[in-house]
Each structure stands twice: as C-alpha cells, then as structure tokens.
Amino acid sequence: MPARINPSILAADFVNMERDLGKIASADLVHVDVMDNHFVPNLTFGPQMVGRIQDVSAIPLDVHLMITDPERWAPGYAELGAYSVTFHAEAATDPVGLARRLRSMGARAGIALKPGTPADDYLDLLEEFDQVLVMTVEPGFGGQSFMPETMPKLRQLRSAATARGLDLWLQVDGGITEETIVTAARAGADTFVAGSSVFRADDPARQISLLRETADLHF
C-alpha cells in the first residue's frame, strides 16, 4: 500500500480555498484542521466551512478536530460526510463511545495524541479506532519543526498494531517535509499530513509525489 499523503489546508489561502483545493487533487485525502481557540490557542473554522469544502473537494476529507467537547461536535462532521474524523485523546471523556458513534455514522474514527501524551492507555483499545494520529508538533499552528522525540511512541503503536494484525492507519502531523518523512516512515507511519511543505512548494502536485515516493522507499 503506497503511503497516503494528506495536505493540510491550514497552509492554503482561506479566501481562495476552492482554487487551492484544486492544487492538491492528486493527494489521498485533504486534511482539515478545526481549531476552537480553547483546546488550542488558534481558531480556524467549523462545520459550515467544512461542509462547503466537502461539497467542492475532489478528494475525501480527513478532519482533525483540535477542540474541547468532541462528544458534542464530532458527530456533526461525520454527518456532513467526512471520510475520517479524528478527535484528541486529551479532550475526550469517552473516546471509545465516541469512536463507536462515528463508525456507526459511516466515518473512520481517529484518535490524536499530543507530543506529551503517551500511547500506553490506548494500546488495548486500538481495535476501536481506524487511525491514530501522532502529533509531531504541538497542535495549534502550521509551519513548526518536526519533533523526533515522538518517534518511540509511533514505533510502539506500529508494533502493537502489527502484533495484533490490525489494519490501523498511523498518521503523523506537523513539520513533515521530504527529509522528516523518512524518519516518520521508518518509525511506522503510513499516513502523512503536510501543510507548509505542499502549499509552499512551487508545484504542489510534484511535492505530493515526492513525499509519497520518499515515504514508500523507507516504510
């Protein structure tokens, strides 16, 4: 299975979103960062905007919720047709119940871990999720540097998934470039979010291919 490359539209031009979505049509999924200015100190957009992105995007949506009270808000993103809905472990009060609800609505369910959040509490629950998002920066902003100290957690998750024969996608998000993607692929990631490195490239489609080929060489 080739590496999945999910460009983050946090690095797109928000007033030219449809144009910028056109630049990433060769990607696997479009990564949509929802921030509420409570869980993280930044604010992006909510269901109305994500619904319009869903309407005009040629590729499915990978929604990353950086919000408090995901039990209240996450199902709305499944409802509007998002392919995957990922909420933060640190914000959820009933992660398994929420994942089951998202799956019952037809979405893939993801759980995200901030750099300082260990995976240990979730290792016995991996069957309940379709993907685990290992944050490789502190959530809140694009354009930050990749944190290699998160790689032992990724290796731990990959070993647990392999040992149990799970088809669990392991996603990394933050500071992914053609250099850092090598480290993340070697540690077991198969799904890569890249904002700045795709949208700041002269040719985003070429950058998507380069990232995919580089990850495939090292997985």
Ligand X SMILES: O=C(CO)[C@H](O)[C@H](O)COP(=O)(O)O
Binding residues for a divalent metal cation: 31, 33, 64, 173
Q: Choose the binding region for Fe ion from 25-33, 48-56, 88-96, 98-106 (rule: CB under 5 A).
A: 25-33
* Active-site residue flag, 33: yes
Burial letters for 29-59: b for 16+ Cβ neighbours within 10 Å, e otherwise?
A: bbbbbbbbeebbeeebbebeebbebbeebeb
Residue 11 is a binding residue for ligand X (CB under 6 A): yes
Residue 64 is a binding residue for Fe ion (CB under 5 A): yes
Marked catalytic residue, from 28, 62, 130, 173: 173
Residue 173 is a binding residue for Fe ion (CB under 5 A): yes
Nearest Cα to Cα of residue 132 among 71, 193, 41: 193
* Active-site residue flag, 190: no
Work out which of 110, 174, 188, 204 binds ligand X, going by CB under 6 A.
Answer: 174
Residue 201 is a binding residue for ligand X (CB under 6 A): no
Reduced to 3 DSSP states, what percent helix, strand and coil does the chain have, rounded to the nearest 5? 40, 20, 35
Task: State the amino acid at position 181 in one-letter form.
Answer: I
| Spatial contact of 35 and 42, defined as CB atoms under 8 Å apart | yes
Q: Sign of the C-alpha dihedral, residues 78, 170, 172, 198?
A: negative
> Interaction with Fe ion in 99-158: which residues (CB under 5 A)?
none
Residue 144 is a binding residue for ligand X (CB under 6 A): yes
Token pair of 11 as six digits: 């690095």
Q: Choose the binding region for ligand X from 91-99, 101-109, 135-143, 155-163 (rule: CB under 6 A).
A: 135-143
Q: Which does 95 bind (CB under 5 to 8 A by kind): ligand X, Fe ion, none?
A: none
Work out which of 3, 4, 5, 10 binds ligand X, going by CB under 6 A.
Answer: 10
Nearer to Fe ion, 134 or 168 (CB): 134
Instruction: Give the C-alpha separation, 52 to 65, whole Å.
Output: 17
The distance of Cα 47 from the centroid of its chain, to the nearest Å, equals 17
Nearest Cα to Cα of residue 144 among 50, 69, 42: 42
Q: Choose the binding region for ligand X from 16-24, 91-99, 158-166, 189-197 (rule: CB under 6 A).
A: 189-197
Binding site for ligand X (CB under 6 A): 8, 10-11, 31, 33, 64, 66, 137, 139-144, 173-176, 193-197
